[in-house]
Homo-oligomer: A and B are copies of this chain.
Amino acid sequence: MTLPNDPALSDRTSDALTAAHLYYMQDLTMDAIAHELHTSRSSISRLLSQARATGLVDIQIRSPLDATSSLEKVILDRYRVTAHVVPVPDHASDVDRLERVALSVARILGQFFDSNMTMGIAWGSTMSAISRHVTPKTTHNSHIVQLNGAGNMRTTGLDYASEILRRFGDAYGAHVEQFPVPAFFDDPATRQAFWRERGVTRLLEMQGRLDVALFGLGSPFSDVPSHVYAGGYLEDGDYDALSRDGAVGDVATIFFRADGSTDGIALNERSTGPEFSVLRRTPRRICVVSGSSKLASLRGALSARLITDLFIDEGTARALADS
C-alpha cells in the first residue's frame, strides 16, 4: 500500500477545487467545466463527487431561526435542549431511521468540531453508523477521546471500538486516544486500581476537559436492545440487578433511572464510562437517538441533564413532545 501524499495529491485536489468553484460558484455545467479543464465530463462528475465526499465542498442548511419546526420549539421549551429533528417518514423501519439520523449527524457534526478541540465519543450501533459517514474536515491539534472501555469476555472489543474512533480521527485529522479497558470490570477494586495508573489518569483528565461529547443511548429493557446488551458484555445476573435498581438506560455504560439518578446502581461501580458529574463539565453534549424504543431511556437522560444538543428522528421527537 502506498501513501498518496501531498506532492501528487495537490494536483488532483486543486483540480477538484477549481471544478467545485466553477460548478457551485459559477453555475457552469459539468460539460463546460470538462472543456475548460481539458478532460471528459465523467471525470468532472467524479472530481466533484470527491470534492463533496472529502469536505472540500461544504453544504449547510440554515434555518432562518424563526422557521424552526414547532417540534424543536416544544422540546426546547420543555427540556431546555436544542433539538435537531431529522425528517423520516413514519412508516420507516428502525434500521432506516437509525441510518438516516446517523447520516444527518455525520454531515452536520463538522459544525460542532474544530481545531484545538477535544471530542469524547462513545461506541455502539448509533456511533458506528455515524462513523461510517462522517464528512471529513481538516482540523489541527484536535483530539478524539474514547469515553468508555469496550472489551468483553468474548473479544477484546478493541477492533470494534477502535474502528469507530479511527474513522472519526481520520475524517478530522485528529489524534485518537483509545481507552483499552473492558466495558465493565469484574471487580470494582480492579477499576480503582487501574484508575490510578498514569496512562489511565491522563485519559481521565482529558475526559474531564472535553469540548464536545457525542453519544447514543442504551435502552436495556426495550424490545430492540442496544449493542451493549447484545454483545455479550452483560450476564443474566447483571440484567436482574439493573432491573432491581430501576435502571432505564445508559450513556457510555453508566446507567441511570427515569429521574436521572445513578446512585446505588451497582453495575456503575464496575463500569468504565465517565461519571455524569464529570460528563456534565463538557459544554456541548450531543445525543443521537432514533427509534421510539429509546424513549424511556431518553427521558431519563434528559432528567439527568446529560444533553445539550439532541438529534432525533421525527417520529420519536413527536412522541417525546406529545407525552
Residues of A in contact with B (beta carbons under 8 Å apart) = 6, 10, 13-14, 17-18, 20-22, 24-27, 36, 55-67, 69, 86-87, 89, 100, 103-104, 107-108, 137-138
Contact = CB atoms under 8 A, between A and B. Distances in A.
Nearest to A60: B58
A104 B25 CA distance: 5
Residue with the highest number of chain B CB atoms closer than 10 Å, among A6, A20, A67, A103: A67
A55 B56 CA distance: 19
A290 to B, nearest CB: 13
A27 B103 contact: yes
A104 B22 CA distance: 9
A317 B14 CA distance: 17
A62 B67 contact: no
A136 to B, nearest CB: 10
6 contacts: A13-B64, A14-B69, A17-B67, A24-B61, A36-B87, A57-B60
A18 to B, nearest CB: 5
A25 B67 contact: no
A86 to B, nearest CB: 7
Contacts of A67: 10, 13-14, 17
Nearest to A9: B67
A84 to B, nearest CB: 10
Contact of A17 (B18, B21, B25, B63): B63
Contacts of A61: 17, 20-21, 24-25, 56-58
Contacts of A86: 21, 25-26
Contacts of A104: 21, 25-26
A59 B55 CA distance: 11
Given A13-B67, A22-B87, A55 B62 contact: yes
A59 B57 CA distance: 7
Nearest to A69: B14
Which 10 residue pairs are nearest across A and B when measured between Cβ atoms?
A25-B104, A58-B60, A18-B87, A25-B107, A24-B59, A64-B138, A36-B89, A59-B59, A20-B61, A26-B100
Contacts of A63: 17, 56
A104 B69 CA distance: 32
Contacts of A65: 138
Contacts of A20: 61
Contacts of A18: 87
A62 B26 CA distance: 16
Contacts of A59: 24, 57-60
A138 to B, nearest CB: 5
Given A17-B63, A67-B14, A67-B17, A25 B108 contact: yes
Contact of A26 (B21, B58, B103, B138): B103
A63 B104 CA distance: 23
A88 to B, nearest CB: 9
A69 to B, nearest CB: 7
